[in-house]
């Protein structure tokens, strides 16, 4: 039995695009290319693993313009690169843990830094 304080949730059949351009991939700050994992922070900002653009994009609440917060848009294995990032976790200090899929590693990206540090994985595929 519902009380007056419990929310009533209903399915909404009409969705809206909150990031990227519907049906159009690209590399600029309004486009995504195969968005994969997403997460929101406590300020309702949206973070997207932009898989084929090799970066993580941050969308401030209400904005349709993304800001690259990890990776530089090209694939690679240096601390400045990501290669098909797939998931993101944000810690209490606003730092990021990113699954760097093709590099077989987890990158720790301190908030505001332009490079990451490998915290798990070797960077090489093993059989």
The per-residue pLDDT for 2 is 54
The per-residue pLDDT for 109 is 96
Residue with token string 């590399």: 27
Average pLDDT over residues 96-119: 96
Average pLDDT over residues 73-77: 95
**pLDDT tens column, 40-70:** 999 999 999 999 999 999 999 999 999 999 9
Report the C-alpha gap between 8 and 81 in whole angstroms: 44
pTM: 0.84
Asked if pLDDT for residue 123 goes beyond 90, the answer is no
Report the C-alpha gap between 92 and 20 in whole angstroms: 27
């Amino acid at each position: 039995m519902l009380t007056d304080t419990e929310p009533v949730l209903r399915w909404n059949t009409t969705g809206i695009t909150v990031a990227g351009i519907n049906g159009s991939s690209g590399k600029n700050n309004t486009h995504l290319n195969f968005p994969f994992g997403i997460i929101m922070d406590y300020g309702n900002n949206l973070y997207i693993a932009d898989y084929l653009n090799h970066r993580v994009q941050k969308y401030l609440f209400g904005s349709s313009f993304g800001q690259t917060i990890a990776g530089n848009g090209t694939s690679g294995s240096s601390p400045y690169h990501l290669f098909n990032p797939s998931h993101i976790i944000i810690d209490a200090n606003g730092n990021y843990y990113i699954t760097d899929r093709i590099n077989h590693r987890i990158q720790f990206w301190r908030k505001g830094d332009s490079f990451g540090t490998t915290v798990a994985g070797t960077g090489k595929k093993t059989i």
